[in-house]
Structure 1
Amino acid sequence: MLNIAAVLCIATIYVRYKQVHALNPEESRIIKLNKAGLVLGLLSCLGLSIVANFQKTTFFAVHVCGAVLTFGIGSLYMFVQTILSYQMQPKIHGKQVFWIRLLLVIWCGVMLTCSSLLYSGSFGADIVQKLHWNPEDKGYVLHMITTAAEWSMSLSFFGFFLTYIRDFQKISLRVEATLHGLTLYDTAPCPINNERTRLLSRDV
């Protein structure tokens, strides 16, 4: 499920990148932020796939690295996209969506801080791999807080992607196949009927 979610997130992040690029082809600052957002988003998706494929109890170090990529880099991606939303006001972007994204980023930052407390080492090195908890265990309250924080961050990520709905309603994507040969075995130029080309262009 997480691997499928990672692929869907990659598609969403790429569509967002292309949309911002099309809206601001000459703004150098926005172009740089947009490219940074693409890289951060892809790294976050890589982390999500790592978390999915390396269990916490078996490959703890790898699992934690994936979690850092997912939540840490993912939070940076959300922050960059929020800055882009601010930079594109008021001509291209509305203020309401910006404030919603900003609140989600702030909330995610607070939850990320809460989640990192368990890994600080104050309650022992093996506590992070503990699977069964009792209310009388040391660090039980913090464990419950960090668990709620991690789920809250996950929901914040989904909520952030949901803010793209109205933006994506303003864009259409299509795939165009161009023949470079008459068969799949040679590279001879493919003759194209001019009348057919005009009709295709008119349909598009």
Structure 2
Amino acid sequence: MWWFQQGLSVLPSALVIWTSAAFIFSYITAVTLHHIDPALPYISDTGTLAPEKCLFGAMLNIAAVLCIATIYVRYKQVHALSPEENVIIKLNKAGLVLGILSCLGLSVVANFQKTALFAAHVSGAVLTFGMGSLYMFVQTILSYQMQPKIHGKQVFWIRLLLVIWCGVSAFSMLTCSSILHSGNFGTDLEQKLHWNPEDKGYVLHMITTAAEWSMSFSFFGFFLTYIRDFQMIGLFLLGSLYVQKRWFPGQKKRW
């Protein structure tokens, strides 16, 4: 049996692969048609003009569904493994809400291009990255609370590093983006798809786009840490989840 056939590990794997494919295919299409510059465009720029915006929107909508499924399965797993821990129960519910809001934002980003409805697009981006970052933070706290009973310590440290990576990227993106759109570097920057090194604000633009891609990669890395956890989860024919209780060496069996 291949690793992705174990339990429901196919869910986080499919989520990361599909979302990456959405970015890559739309990027290749946009660059080929000379709609954007090859060097670090905004992720949204790769899905602004037709035909790539159609591909971008359709694939990200499917990614949002995969993300909701992954987040829900994670919620049910934590619920099953820690049924009597009040702190974990509250954090788990908060994580579910934050995750669903982030997925909703992803769908908004996919369907409202920044050159058409900038306010809606930015709102979707704030939901996606903002709520997504908080979701990662909550899940990292859960990993800390659940070690060493459920998680090994290495899982917590990996997720903590990914959250720090996400936080640094988010801070860089917000800071540079705020300066760039302060009005000192021109107006209607949201309509600008081509940048030259001689343009005012070019360096800030490049830092912002690099931080945006970096933040996305931190999300991918975080969901990939679910693969090992999801290998312990199965699905009954009628649709109910069951979670395999797992013990680490030296621990007493509590179930």
**Aligned: 1:118 with 2:177:** yes
AA in 2 matched with 1:104: L
SS in structure 1 of the partner of residue 233 of structure 2 = coil
- Deviation (angstroms), 1:124: 4.4
* Backbone CA RMSD of aligned residues: 1.3
1:38 corresponding residue in structure 2: 96
Deviation at 1:130, TM superposition (A): 1.8
Post-superposition offset of 1:90: 1.3
> 1:196 maps to what in 2?
none
1:125 Cα deviation after fit: 4.6
Select which of 151, 154, 164 maps to 1:96.
154
Contact 2:64–2:104 (8 Å) recurs in 1: yes
Higher Rg = 1
Query: What's the TM-score, normalizing by structure 2?
Result: 0.67
**Matched residue count:** 177
Aligned equivalents of 2:190, 2:111: Cα separation in 1: 18
> With CA pairs under 8 Å and 6+ residues apart, which has the higher RCO, 1 or 2?
2
Q: What amino acid does structure 2 have at the position aligned with 1:82? A: T
Deviation at 1:151, TM superposition (A): 1.0
Using the size of structure 1 for normalisation, the TM-score is: 0.83
Q: Percent identity?
A: 82
Structure 1 unaligned residues grouped into runs of 5+: 178-204
In structure 2, runs of 5+ residues without a counterpart are: 1-58, 240-255
Tell me which amino acid in the other structure corresponds to 2:114.
K
Give 1:158's aligned residue.
220
Aligned to 1:78: 136
Aligned-partner residue type, residue 118 of structure 1: S
Q: Secondary structure at the match of 1:172?
A: strand
Please give the residue correspondences for 1:47-196 in structure 2 after superposition, counting only pairs within 5 Å.
47-116=105-174, 117-120=176-179, 121-122=181-182, 123-176=185-238
Q: Which amino acid aligns with 2:225?
A: T
How far the C-alpha of 1:128 sits from its partner, in A, is 3.7
